[in-house]
Amino acid sequence: MANTKVAIIAANGNLFDAYKVFNIATAAAASDAEVGIFFTFEGLNLIHKEAHKNLPLPEGKEHFQEGFKQANVPSIEELVGIAQELDIKLIGCQMTMDVMSIEKEAFLEGIEVGGAATFIEYAKDANITLTF
């Protein structure tokens, strides 16, 4: 998968959403693909310094908490670390940050900040594009 490019939009912020995004992203990067994720609206929770460590389960699905433990699924914190180690490009949406009045400093070190055009420019020659 070298020479394969994956572009992901993460627009939702609960724990399920986070796993969908980071599992696919790290699997792709571990397979030698170039991966970039654009975090927008609630998706910004996934790279917020504090919020990503304690993401809520979707309403009515709280009972899955136990299942995550039993299956020994890595924490989102751990997956984010792996994502950064694998050089996955993390892009926070500037417009959402402005709307929600959050500064770049509230997010993980090493993220980029950009607008819709930044993502489009990145994704224009992607082989795989996914939205979560």
Partner 1 sequence: MDINANEVLDAKGLACPMPIVRTKKAITNLEPGHVIEIQATDKGSTADMKAWADSTGHQYLGTVEDGELLKHYIRKASEAETKEETKHEDVLDLEELRQKIDGDESITILDVREPAEYAFGHIPGAINIPLGELEERFNEVDKENDLHVICRTGNRSDLAAQILTEKGFKNVKNVIPGMNKWGGPLDKKK
User: What residues pair up with 131 in beta bridges, in sequence order?
Assistant: 9
Q: Which of 82, 108, 86 is nearest to 34 (CA)?
A: 86
Give least dist CB 12 to partner 1, A: 20
Long-range contacts of 65-74 (CB under 8 A, 24+ apart): 68/15, 73/19
Give least dist CB 9 to partner 1, A: 19
Residue 72 makes contact with partner 1 by CB under 8 A: yes
Residue 102 makes contact with partner 1 by CB under 8 A: no
Among residues 71, 101, 105, 125, the one that binds partner 1 under rule CB under 8 A: 71
Residue 32 makes contact with partner 1 by CB under 8 A: yes
CB atoms within 10 A of CB 132: 19
Among residues 48, 57, 75, 82, the one that binds partner 1 under rule CB under 8 A: 82
Give least dist CB 14 to partner 1, A: 19
Q: Which of 81, 106, 117, 91 is nearest to 8 (CA)?
A: 91
The one-letter code for the residue type at 51 is A
Residues that bind partner 1 (CB under 8 A): 1-2, 4, 23, 26-27, 30-33, 71-74, 82, 86
